[in-house]
Amino acid sequence: MSEALYLGKPVFSIPVDWQFEQWLNARYLDDLGYGLMCEYPRHFDVLLPKFLASLDRYRQNIARHDFFGNELVLARILEFLPESKPVAAVAR
Protein backbone atom coordinates (compact mmCIF):
# COMPACT_ATOMS: atom_id res chain seq x y z
CA MET A 1 0.00 0.00 0.00
CA SER A 2 2.79 2.43 0.80
CA GLU A 3 4.20 2.14 -2.72
CA ALA A 4 0.78 2.79 -4.24
CA LEU A 5 0.23 5.88 -2.08
CA TYR A 6 3.73 7.15 -2.86
CA LEU A 7 2.82 6.92 -6.54
CA GLY A 8 -0.57 8.58 -5.97
CA LYS A 9 -2.57 5.44 -6.67
CA PRO A 10 -5.81 4.65 -4.79
CA VAL A 11 -5.98 1.18 -3.24
CA PHE A 12 -8.79 -1.37 -3.19
CA SER A 13 -7.80 -3.47 -0.20
CA ILE A 14 -8.92 -7.00 0.60
CA PRO A 15 -7.15 -7.94 3.85
CA VAL A 16 -6.30 -11.59 4.49
CA ASP A 17 -8.54 -13.20 7.13
CA TRP A 18 -7.15 -13.22 10.66
CA GLN A 19 -4.28 -10.88 9.75
CA PHE A 20 -4.87 -7.94 12.07
CA GLU A 21 -2.13 -5.75 10.56
CA GLN A 22 -3.66 -6.07 7.10
CA TRP A 23 -7.11 -5.32 8.48
CA LEU A 24 -5.83 -2.27 10.39
CA ASN A 25 -3.95 -0.91 7.36
CA ALA A 26 -7.02 -1.39 5.18
CA ARG A 27 -9.22 0.34 7.76
CA TYR A 28 -6.87 3.36 7.91
CA LEU A 29 -6.74 3.45 4.12
CA ASP A 30 -10.53 3.57 4.02
CA ASP A 31 -10.90 6.05 6.89
CA LEU A 32 -8.34 8.45 5.41
CA GLY A 33 -10.06 8.35 2.03
CA TYR A 34 -7.12 6.85 0.12
CA GLY A 35 -9.11 3.88 -1.11
CA LEU A 36 -11.66 1.32 -0.08
CA MET A 37 -11.56 -1.70 2.19
CA CYS A 38 -13.38 -4.85 1.14
CA GLU A 39 -13.53 -6.77 4.41
CA TYR A 40 -15.65 -9.61 3.06
CA PRO A 41 -15.00 -11.10 -0.40
CA ARG A 42 -18.74 -11.60 -0.89
CA HIS A 43 -19.04 -7.77 -1.01
CA PHE A 44 -16.53 -7.48 -3.87
CA ASP A 45 -19.19 -7.15 -6.60
CA VAL A 46 -20.82 -4.22 -4.79
CA LEU A 47 -17.68 -2.44 -3.56
CA LEU A 48 -15.50 -2.55 -6.68
CA PRO A 49 -17.86 -0.33 -8.74
CA LYS A 50 -18.09 2.03 -5.75
CA PHE A 51 -14.28 2.17 -5.61
CA LEU A 52 -13.96 2.81 -9.35
CA ALA A 53 -16.57 5.57 -9.20
CA SER A 54 -14.60 7.32 -6.43
CA LEU A 55 -11.09 7.24 -7.94
CA ASP A 56 -10.91 11.01 -8.44
CA ARG A 57 -11.82 11.66 -4.80
CA TYR A 58 -9.23 9.14 -3.59
CA ARG A 59 -6.57 10.72 -5.81
CA GLN A 60 -7.39 14.18 -4.44
CA ASN A 61 -7.10 12.92 -0.86
CA ILE A 62 -3.76 11.25 -1.60
CA ALA A 63 -2.45 14.40 -3.32
CA ARG A 64 -3.10 16.44 -0.15
CA HIS A 65 -0.48 14.49 1.78
CA ASP A 66 3.27 14.17 1.53
CA PHE A 67 4.39 10.55 1.28
CA PHE A 68 8.03 11.54 0.81
CA GLY A 69 9.03 11.27 4.48
CA ASN A 70 11.98 8.87 4.39
CA GLU A 71 14.54 11.67 4.69
CA LEU A 72 12.80 13.04 7.79
CA VAL A 73 12.59 9.61 9.39
CA LEU A 74 16.25 8.89 8.71
CA ALA A 75 17.32 12.26 10.16
CA ARG A 76 15.32 11.54 13.31
CA ILE A 77 16.87 8.06 13.68
CA LEU A 78 20.36 9.48 13.22
CA GLU A 79 19.74 11.82 16.17
CA PHE A 80 19.76 8.79 18.46
CA LEU A 81 22.90 7.14 17.08
CA PRO A 82 26.33 7.79 18.55
CA GLU A 83 28.56 10.30 16.78
CA SER A 84 31.17 7.72 15.74
CA LYS A 85 30.50 5.88 12.52
CA PRO A 86 30.22 2.08 12.66
CA VAL A 87 33.14 0.12 11.30
CA ALA A 88 32.25 -2.32 8.53
CA ALA A 89 32.83 -5.95 9.39
CA VAL A 90 35.89 -7.37 7.70
CA ALA A 91 35.38 -10.61 5.78
CA ARG A 92 37.56 -13.39 7.13
What are 5-17's pLDDT values in tens digits?
A: 888 999 999 999 8
- The C-alpha angle 80, 84, 89, rounded to 5 degrees, equals 105
The Cα-based distances of 90 to 81, 84, 86, 87 in angstroms read 22, 18, 12, 9
The predicted structure's pLDDT at residue 73: 78
How confident is the prediction along the chain (92 residues), in pLDDT tens digits per residue? 888 988 899 999 999 988 999 999 999 999 999 999 999 889 999 999 999 999 999 999 999 987 767 778 778 888 888 775 655 555 55
**Domain spans, the chain:** 2-78
Contacts of 75 (CB under 8 A, 6+ apart): none
